[in-house]
Amino acid sequence: MSQINRIDGGQIDRSKLLSFTFNGREMHGHPGDTLASALLANGQILVGRSFKYHRPRGILTAGSEEPNALVQLRSGARQEPNTRATVTELFDGLTATSQNHRGPLEFDLMAVTDFASPFLSAGFYYKTFMWPRAFWEKLYEPAIRSSAGLGRLSMQDDPDHYDKGFLHCDLLVIGAGPSGLAAALTAARSGARVILADEDFTPGGRLNSETLSVDNMAGADWARMAVAELASLPNVRLMTRTTVYGAYDHGTYGALERCTDHLADSGGKPRQVLWRIYSKRAVLAAGATERPIAFGNNDRPGVMMASAVRTYVNRFGVAPGKQVAVFTNNDDGWRTAADLAARGVSVVAIIDSRDKPAVCDVPGARHIRGAAVKDTVGRKALKSVTLTDGQVIPTDCLAVSGGWNPNVHLTCHQRGRPNWRDDLQAFVPGDSLPVGMQVAGAANGAMTLGAALAEGHAQAARQLDALGLTAKGSAPQAEDEPRDCAGFWHVKESAKRAWVDLQNDVTVKDIKQANREGFRSVELLKRYTTMGMATDQGKTSNIAGLAILAEDAGKPIPEVGTTIFRPPYTPIPIGALAGRARGKDFRPYRLTPSHKWASENGATFVEVGNWLRAQWYARPGEQGWRDSVDREALQTRQSVGICDVTTLGKIDIQGRDAAEFLNRVYSNAFLKLPVGKVRYGLMLREDGIAYDDGTTARMSENHYVMTTTTANAVLVFRRLEFARQCLWPGLDVHLISTTDGWAQFAVAGPNARNLLRKVVDEAHDLSNEGFPFMACGEVTVCGGMPARLFRISFSGELAYEVAVPARYGNSMMDVLMEAGREFDAVPYGTEALGVMRIEKGHAAGNELNGQTTALNLGLGGMVSQKKDCIGQTLSKRPEMNRDDAIRLVGFRPVDRSKKLIAGSHFITKGDEAIMDNDQGWMSSVAYSPSLGHSIGLGFIKRGHERMGEIVRAMSPVHDTEMEVEIVSAHFIDPEGDRLRG
């Protein structure tokens, strides 16, 4: 197909021809075209089907407000639905297909829906699909979704890359139209750091679409000069193809830069970048959007916005019609007629709703005063329009202008409400703007070119003043064109459906019906009719919709108000919001120092917070994880096992008042902990609930090393910093994390000492007398390597933890295994660790779950009453000290072959299994290879007094019930002989 509608002029590069396809048909355009302008140039008037009624639709606008011309762009995994043809930059090889039809675009089978329209009015779904309720999810919703809706997802992973970034500036100018360029020039010349962002690929805004002059030169030429100057300045960042989509707190803005969307291939670079812009000040120069007038069958392909028609002619060298009619309620519509006539496009009539003389002379056009279009003819392309007085005017393109709405959206993102201006018949930015923002140009109601330029300069000067800079230069000069506008929203004489929201197929009748049915608030109207809820967010429809509501309700428009504008201003792909955070890069991961060794030795890893920890080490011949875990636990208890426990939080605490500090943050006493000793400590929350536990070692007089649980390492550190800085700033205490600094290994089992004796340098006494249970100290290993040794045990065995600088950690694991070979030393993972701590009755995360107290945990004696500590006062609350409080105890199945289930609840034998009789719950279970059966830890009322009692453990979730016996939580070595041995 040739470019039958291409005319002379425009800002396209005719020296290059670009090929593209639409629904498989090859077409051509030029660099500088949008997909929409190229489609029009190729005579493609029908571009899609409507959302609900599958009505044929054409291109309405030339900007990001487009409701109709949504296409699926590209193919395969890169297929992107709902792309606006009006802002899609044409490139060679572009492929686009139309959306929302079954069968070809021209013969959509679903168009039958349109004949059912009398039954499909506003609220239809809510009224019709209420019954039977069960049908909604399985039948109604899928049926509706397949017939309505817009484009389709590819259902494949998006192969493109996305990125994010951070920018900083003194002044952010949003929009590079006349006022934005004027503001940016003033600020840039004054030395401020300026970011100028515009959604278009060619900055200039309406200057590229108009024939107006600035500083005695063509507006588009002036814009090019201004952009060239800005681009040459080092203090300016010019961002084209960038939409500032949201205004957030403290001058922070969100922006989406489309980096490679205009290229056939992204070349492996991010397709889009989501920017966070920190601005000291901002000038919003977002321009204005022309609004349609609602009349019968106003959605025919060929009915377009008047300003868009002028854009296609002036900027793109495309005549959207051969015999154009203009329907306007304002002076600006006349400019379309004048520009078209000047370019040799035939204008057959100017229909002005106002009864006033011609605004300008348009050769060859009839001026029809005080009239309106009430209907149109032509199913897939406009053929004629019928006026209110009955006359029929043949035309293939009707240019409609209902006035202009300032783009106030970003002024409302922090709940600002716009004000109504009668002279413009439009809302303008209100009094409460986001911090640091000023608005300039058409966005602020300065609707003429001269005024917009002057205001751009003035607002920039104002912002510079606030930044302590002096504005340089003067405002560019231009004439003020006529801009009178009448409040004329829809043609009452229209008997046919008059469309307000073209993207969601909402008609004037729907709005009136909503009002009649009681949905009188504009917010309710929106949700009931879905007006303004589509991807265009009602940019062309909202004001007309609420004007019609106001009229129907007999209220003035400002009283009806607007719905709330929220980010984003235009759609943001989910991929851009995700950025790089996908797959394994969703979040950072942390590796233990012996990770390499573990990977080479058959470890299966488990995520613990951000850490990857060895869960178990499978050996050849093992049938499943249980085989490995049983072996690791047994062998550790029989000889010796080694586990990387680096992930436990380590906090270095120093200061003259460190002991006093610890005494206040731990519930148990720490003042008298001797140098060279470790103590187990329990922390409470302010409300008295158990918070975290761990050990703290006194390395020297004023130096302690605290360990925390892996999960709470960061939380505890933060809490201690808060306590140090805010609660007790008078204490000399200093904290720093050393979690990553030391590779720490638990060496546990009867042969632990024998193994370590081979690694720790001989000068250090490891005998039970020289280094008893709960001893700690600085030692050297492997011939002088500084290390720390702690004699602590989580497994209940004779055990040590030995720490070396982390960079030696992988090597240390090798050494420990090599030294342990004669003892058949085994590496063990978190599962065996868990088995052994349950066997020993140690509480862990399942028990310290934010609901349990020291008393519940059987650690009531650890809340010292001889001193104060965080949480002590509230731990005395009577409810937390009831006689029948739950207690941590052990459980074993009466039938030893049964497997306990964590989460089971306990019911006293003979009681009915109802919530009122709930006695507690099972918190941790494991198979104990040492005992040969399943064991559990759990909380049960008065547990410590009920040893030997048999209760029922019930799990309604698993639908299980079994008898269990209450036993001591210390299944192994209850006297602790092993760990002291």
Partner 1 sequence: MADYSLISTPPLAGTDLRFGTCRITAPADLALVSLALPLGGEDAAQKAIAKAFGTALPDIGQSAAASDGSTTLLRLGIDQGFVMFTHATPDAERVVAAKLGGAAYTTDQTDVWCALDVTGPDCRRALERICPIDLHPDAFTIGSLARTTMEHLGVIVIRTDTDSFRLLSASSSAQSFLHAVETSFANVM
Between 276 and 343, CB nearer to partner 1? 276
- Specify whether the CB–CB gap between 340 and 320 falls below 8 A: no
C-alpha gyration radius of the chain: 38
Between 777 and 936, CB nearer to partner 1? 777
Minimum distance, C-beta of residue 197 to partner 1, in the bound complex (Å): 15
Interface residues with partner 1 (CB under 8 A) are 161, 163-168, 193, 269-270, 273, 276, 278, 580, 585, 587-592, 596, 610-611, 646, 652, 654-657, 702-703, 730-732, 734, 736-742, 757-759, 761-762, 781-783, 785-786, 804-808, 810-812, 815, 818-819
DSSP, res 725: I
Minimum distance, C-beta of residue 734 to partner 1, in the bound complex (Å): 3
Dmax (CA) of the chain: 113
Which is it for the CA torsion 500, 505, 509, 511, positive or negative?
Answer: negative
Beta bridge partners of residue 653, listed in sequence order: 704, 735
SS3 for 126-150 is HHHCCCCCCHHHHHHHHHHHHHCCC
Minimum distance, C-beta of residue 470 to partner 1, in the bound complex (Å): 18
Distance (Å, rounded) from C-alpha 634 to C-alpha 898?
21
Residue 920: strand, helix, or coil: strand
Non-local CB neighbours of 303 within 8 Å, separated by 6+ positions: 58, 60, 376, 382, 397, 398, 400
Minimum distance, C-beta of residue 437 to partner 1, in the bound complex (Å): 20
Q: What are phi and psi of 640, to 5 degrees?
A: -160, 140
Between 98 and 810, CB nearer to partner 1? 810
Between 759 and 855, CB nearer to partner 1? 759
Minimum distance, C-beta of residue 895 to partner 1, in the bound complex (Å): 45
Minimum distance, C-beta of residue 35 to partner 1, in the bound complex (Å): 27
Between 163 and 949, CB nearer to partner 1? 163
Q: What are phi and psi of 313, to 5 degrees?
A: -70, -50
Of 915, 648, 665, 883, nearest in space to 788 by CA: 648
Between 738 and 768, CB nearer to partner 1? 738
Distance (Å, rounded) from C-alpha 830 to C-alpha 685?
27
Between 669 and 727, CB nearer to partner 1? 727
Between 555 and 757, CB nearer to partner 1? 757
Of 52, 64, 94, nearest in space to 572 by CA: 64
Between 307 and 592, CB nearer to partner 1? 592
Looking from the CA of 451 toward its CB, the CA atoms found within 13 Å total: 14
Minimum distance, C-beta of residue 657 to partner 1, in the bound complex (Å): 8
- Specify whether the CB–CB gap between 923 and 902 falls below 8 A: yes
Tokens found for residue 245: 């989509």
- Specify whether the CB–CB gap between 706 and 742 falls below 8 A: no
Minimum distance, C-beta of residue 763 to partner 1, in the bound complex (Å): 11
Minimum distance, C-beta of residue 929 to partner 1, in the bound complex (Å): 31
Of 669, 665, 691, nearest in space to 679 by CA: 669
| Residue 195, number of CB atoms within 10 A of its CB | 26
Minimum distance, C-beta of residue 874 to partner 1, in the bound complex (Å): 29
Minimum distance, C-beta of residue 922 to partner 1, in the bound complex (Å): 34
Strand bridging mode 611-617 / 603-608? antiparallel
Angle at CA 401, nearest 5°, toward 494 and 307? Answer: 145
Distance (Å, rounded) from C-alpha 95 to C-alpha 365?
39
Which is it for the CA torsion 51, 53, 56, 62, positive or negative?
Answer: negative
Ramachandran category for residue 147: left, alpha or beta (phi over 0 → left; psi -120 to 50 → alpha): alpha
Q: How far is CA 398 from the centre of its chain?
A: 41
Between 57 and 788, CB nearer to partner 1? 788
Between 464 and 508, CB nearer to partner 1? 464
**DSSP-derived secondary structure for 61-115:** -SSTT-SS-EEEES-GGG-EEEEEGGGPBP-TTEEEEE-S-SS-GGG-GGGHHHH
Between 758 and 941, CB nearer to partner 1? 758
Of 499, 476, 478, nearest in space to 400 by CA: 499
The b-or-e profile of 223-249 (16+ CB within 10 A means b, else e) is bbebbeebeeeeebbbbbbbbbbbbee
Distance (Å, rounded) from C-alpha 520 to C-alpha 515?
5
Between 161 and 224, CB nearer to partner 1? 161
Between 567 and 805, CB nearer to partner 1? 805
Distance (Å, rounded) from C-alpha 789 to C-alpha 786?
10
Minimum distance, C-beta of residue 815 to partner 1, in the bound complex (Å): 5
Q: Where are the alpha helices (DSSP H) in 858-947?
A: none
Between 286 and 705, CB nearer to partner 1? 705
- 265 exposure class (CB count in 10 Å sphere: 0-12, 13-18, 19+): exposed
Between 742 and 790, CB nearer to partner 1? 742
Between 152 and 580, CB nearer to partner 1? 580
DSSP, res 10: S
Between 237 and 409, CB nearer to partner 1? 237
- 762 exposure class (CB count in 10 Å sphere: 0-12, 13-18, 19+): exposed
Hey, what long-range contacts does 803-809 have (CB within 8 A, 24 or more apart)? 803/742, 803/743, 803/744, 803/745, 804/742, 804/743, 805/741, 805/742, 805/743, 806/593, 806/646, 806/740, 806/741, 806/742, 806/743, 807/593, 808/593, 808/743, 809/592, 809/593, 809/594, 809/644, 809/646, 809/743
